[in-house]
């Protein structure tokens, strides 16, 4: 009797364990059809929270939540009043979880002036965190990484323009940042150049007119070395192809993606074999065409062509900020969900995204 009881208990335990495993893997019992079938899960989150989730146009809940659905093609939309909407076509497969985690942006963002000075020119560093401004007879530095109290001016003077007597045309001046963003070169159209330090008020600017090209080349060499170090974290095959065939435009802030322009046409092979499951489902482009611009994601081994010019990384490494037709837009890094976030007046020669968005 004890043996029978133990056997029944063991069988019960096995059945329960198998049921739990099957449930966790996405199997459900269909009461109407009286059979067990696999389902998929759409895990929907958003920033901000409490956004409505629409599946094929039907409201299914609010973020954050998990939706269990049969394998099929779905149009997933995330909407919240006062914010941009987000949508994507999802091919849901049994036993798999598809993560949907969009960022929704305010439709009417609040604006505040950086300064009331009459700005003549503004130039940002590669990562956008530092901006050199020329205004009211001086050059200033705005450092987005340093938060200031409201009653302190957010700008630090780096030089009085009167100390640069050989530069006249400041509107067309070329401002070049060093790789460590601690120095800049002010180069005028007539080749007169000065070296300035960004952490101080330069009372004695260094004239580098005759050594400018050497200094710029040294900075470029250092930048190339930094890029090479980051590329070493990418798949080896990609590193080799990129070094020979791509012009690196910029890396994402978290250095997991690279924006590049093709110097020659080349085929980009799969770097991760077998391919990862439950990755970005946007169709990618691996036949690289000369002069076209692309973004490569090393985590998922995905490559997407970008069809918009004049773009900058958004601080979350998942979006680009775009200036297009007197508007500022934001798009997902895979070139989907282009949304207008600002359409008011602004100087089209300058727009920038800082590390806090």
Q: Looking at 16-30, 31-45, 169-183, which range is the least confident one?
A: 16-30
Q: Give the start-to-end residue ranges of the domains of the chain.
A: 1-27, 39-108, 119-216, 232-342
Q: Which CATH architecture has domain 39-108?
A: Sandwich (2.60)
For residue 64, whether the previous peptide bond is cis, meaning omega lies within 30 degrees of 0, is yes
pLDDT at 255: 93
Q: CA 90 from chain center: how many Å?
A: 22
Q: Which two tokens stand for residue 1?
A: 């009797």
d(CA 9, CA 112): 69
- Rounded to the nearest integer, the mean pLDDT of the chain is 84
Give which of 320, 342, 317, 351 is closest to 114, Cα–Cα.
351
Structure-model confidence comparison of residues 263 and 96, the more confident one:
263
Which is more confidently placed, 125 or 266? 266
Q: Assign 341 a pLDDT band (cuts: 50, 70, 90).
A: confident
Q: What is the pLDDT of residues 250-271, one digit of tens each?
A: 999 999 999 999 999 999 999 9
Q: Does 30 have pLDDT greater than 70?
A: no
| CATH number of the 119-216 domain | 2.20.25
Q: How confident is the model at residue 151 (pLDDT cuts 50, 70, 90)?
A: very low
**What is the mean predicted confidence (pLDDT) over 50-73?**
91
pLDDT at position 222 is: 94
């Amino acid at each position: 009797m004890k043996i029978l009881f133990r056997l029944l208990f063991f069988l019960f335990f096995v059945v329960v364990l198998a049921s739990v495993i099957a449930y966790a893997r996405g199997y459900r019992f269909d009461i109407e059809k009286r059979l067990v079938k696999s389902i998929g899960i759409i895990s929907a989150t958003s920033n901000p929270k409490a956004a409505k989730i629409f599946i094929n146009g039907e409201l299914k809940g609010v973020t954050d939540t998990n939706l269990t659905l049969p394998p099929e093609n779905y149009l997933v939309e995330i909407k919240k009043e006062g914010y941009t909407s987000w949508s994507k076509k999802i091919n849901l497969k049994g036993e798999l979880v598809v993560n949907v985690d969009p960022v929704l942006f305010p439709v009417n963002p609040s604006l505040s002036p950086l300064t009331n000075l009459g700005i003549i020119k503004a130039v940002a560093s590669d990562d956008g965190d530092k901006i050199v401004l020329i205004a009211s007879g001086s050059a200033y530095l705005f450092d987005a990484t340093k938060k200031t109290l409201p009653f302190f001016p957010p700008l630090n003077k780096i030089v009085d323009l009167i100390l640069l007597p050989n530069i006249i045309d400041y509107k067309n001046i070329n401002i070049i940042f060093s790789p460590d963003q601690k120095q800049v070169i002010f180069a005028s159209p007539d080749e007169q150049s000065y070296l300035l330090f960004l952490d101080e008020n330069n009372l004695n600017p260094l004239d580098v007119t005759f050594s400018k090209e050497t200094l710029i080349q040294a900075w470029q060499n250092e930048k190339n070395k930094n890029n090479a170090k980051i590329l070493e974290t990418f798949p080896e095959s990609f590193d080799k192809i990129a070094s020979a065939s791509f012009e690196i435009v910029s890396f994402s802030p978290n250095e997991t993606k690279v924006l590049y322009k093709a110097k020659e046409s080349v085929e980009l092979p799969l770097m991760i074999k077998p391919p990862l499951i439950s990755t970005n489902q946007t169709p990618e482009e691996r036949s690289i065409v000369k002069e076209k611009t692309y973004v490569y994601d090393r985590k998922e081994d995905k490559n997407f062509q970008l069809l918009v010019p004049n773009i900058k990384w958004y601080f979350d490494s998942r979006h680009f900020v775009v200036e297009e037709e007197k508007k500022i837009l934001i798009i997902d890094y895979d070139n989907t969900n282009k949304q207008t976030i600002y359409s008011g007046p602004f100087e089209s020669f300058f727009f920038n995204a800082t590390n806090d968005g």
